[in-house]
């Protein structure tokens, strides 16, 4: 695409892009073109094995740049790591039970939230490891949490059937989202931060207004427990995965069902959009992953080769690669367009349940039941 012509087109539609910033936008478009055009034959090699915890890990997560990552564990702690050296920076201690859900407040990355089976969520400083707030109020285990992108709120989902929104600055509860009849095990904000979705064992996903805490829509159609739910980047679509072996696509504004993506022969354990919202990846207990086109709803690739269930799937930020984590003790890297397996990341001695890319897409972390976390460059 001609970058100059493209920016002219954008300027016609977007009054905020004035003549004075035109050059800068052209520069950004060209940089994006370079990034998308980079050759991709990166082979990942094991960089470090971290014997992170004395008990199994529950989760791993990167900050946006990938300079730091965190691990949660049954040992009741969360650890903060320096990716480049593989050194432990902080141990976040204070929970009275399993630390199950963890997150950075990306894109900033200066705060960490931990959700625990002790029914509390804690907010920590990434730099000092100090605890800012302990959020109390749930009457059962916290199993999922998420920051909004604006980094003003953290949401927690619990086995008590409710989700809660907490003010990060004040350390106070803002609202309780009540309406599900069973445990909430997935939640996620949309990009603009005005909506949040909760997925429950009651087979439904609820769409909530963040400002008022009102339930706007209930997405009804799945015949099994929800395993994951996500908005696409422009907040127009919601994808849901369920134990009923299907994945469903919904209109985020109206809550109406758009399509059911079928083909898996067992439970769907994870679903995700690429950043452009054009493709959907599903991971299943049948040992395969699939890629669907969000526009045509057709299956465009089957990722076959794992010898056990796949619990996690994610796209690299560019959307050209897919990473899967499996109970067969390996993680695999796939070409998102063709479904070809490009690499098998071997070495863990027990199932891998967590995997993540850094923002650049050149570092991977995998977390396993073998109590270790591996960094791949």
At residue 73, the 3 state secondary structure works out as strand
d(CA 249, CA 231): 10
Q: How many CB atoms lie within 10 A of CB 296?
A: 9
b/e code 12-31 from CB counts within 10 Å (16+ = b): eeeeeeeeeeeeebeeebee
pTM to 2 decimals? 0.93
Q: So what's the pLDDT on residue 304?
A: 98
**Is the residue at 206 inside a domain?**
no
Count the domains in the chain.
2
CATH of the domain at 281: 2.130.10.10
d(CA 157, CA 168): 16
**Is the residue at 331 inside a domain?**
yes
What are the tens digits of pLDDT across the range 61-107?
999 999 999 999 999 999 999 999 999 999 999 999 999 999 999 99
**Is the residue at 282 inside a domain?**
yes
Tell me which residue of 233, 240, 235 sits closest to 219, measured CA to CA.
240
**Is the residue at 211 inside a domain?**
no
Q: Which domain holds residue 320?
A: 228-346
Structure tokens at 60: 């791993």
**Is the residue at 65 inside a domain?**
no
**Is the residue at 312 inside a domain?**
yes
Tell me which residue has tokens 């931060």. Answer: 193
Tell me which residue of 46, 40, 43 sits closest to 346, measured CA to CA.
46
Residue 214 has pLDDT above 90, yes or no: yes
Q: What is the chain's length? A: 377
Residue 242, CA distances (Å) to 239, 270, 306 in order = 10, 8, 20
**Is the residue at 365 inside a domain?**
no
**Is the residue at 104 inside a domain?**
no
What are the tens digits of pLDDT across the range 289-317?
999 999 999 999 999 999 999 999 999 99
Residue 41 has pLDDT above 90, yes or no: no
Helices and strands per DSSP (H, E), number in the chain:
2, 32
């Amino acid at each position: 695409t001609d970058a100059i012509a493209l920016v002219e087109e954008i300027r016609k539609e977007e009054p905020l892009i004035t003549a004075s910033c035109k050059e800068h936008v052209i520069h950004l478009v060209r940089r994006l073109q370079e990034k998308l055009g980079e050759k991709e034959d990166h082979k990942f090699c094991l960089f470090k094995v971290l014997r992170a915890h004395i008990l199994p890990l529950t989760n791993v997560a990167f900050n946006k740049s990938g300079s730091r990552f965190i691990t949660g564990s049954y040992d009741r702690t969360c650890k903060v790591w320096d990716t480049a050296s593989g050194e432990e920076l902080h141990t976040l201690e204070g929970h009275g039970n399993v630390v199950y859900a963890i997150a950075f407040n990306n894109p900033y990355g200066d705060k960490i939230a931990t959700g625990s089976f002790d029914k509390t969520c804690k907010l920590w400083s990434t730099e000092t490891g100090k605890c800012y707030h302990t959020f109390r109020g749930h009457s059962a285990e916290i199993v999922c949490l998420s920051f909004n992108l604006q980094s003003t709120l953290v949401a927690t989902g619990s086995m008590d059937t409710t989700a809660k929104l907490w003010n990060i600055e004040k350390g106070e509860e803002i609202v309780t989202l009540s309406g599900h009849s069973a445990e909430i095990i997935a939640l996620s904000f949309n990009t603009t931060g005005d909506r949040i979705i909760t997925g429950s064992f009651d087979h439904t996903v609820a769409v909530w207004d963040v400002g008022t805490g009102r339930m706007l829509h209930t997405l009804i159609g799945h015949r099994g427990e929800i395993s994951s739910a996500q908005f696409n980047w422009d907040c127009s679509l919601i994808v849901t995965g369920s134990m009923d072996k299907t994945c469903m696509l919904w209109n985020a504004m109206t809550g109406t069902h758009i399509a059911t993506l079928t083909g898996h022969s067992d439970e769907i354990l994870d679903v995700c959009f690429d950043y452009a919202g054009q493709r959907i990846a599903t991971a299943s207990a049948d040992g395969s992953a699939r890629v669907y086109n969000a526009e045509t709803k057709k299956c465009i690739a089957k990722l076959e080769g794992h010898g056990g269930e796949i619990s996690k799937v994610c796209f690299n930020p560019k959307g050209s690669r897919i990473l899967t984590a499996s109970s067969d003790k390996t993680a695999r890297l796939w070409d998102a367009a063709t479904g070809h397996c490009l690499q098998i990341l071997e070495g863990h001695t027990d199932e891998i349940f967590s995997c993540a890319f850094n923002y650049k897409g050149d570092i991977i972390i995998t977390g396993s039941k073998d109590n270790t976390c591996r960094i791949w460059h």
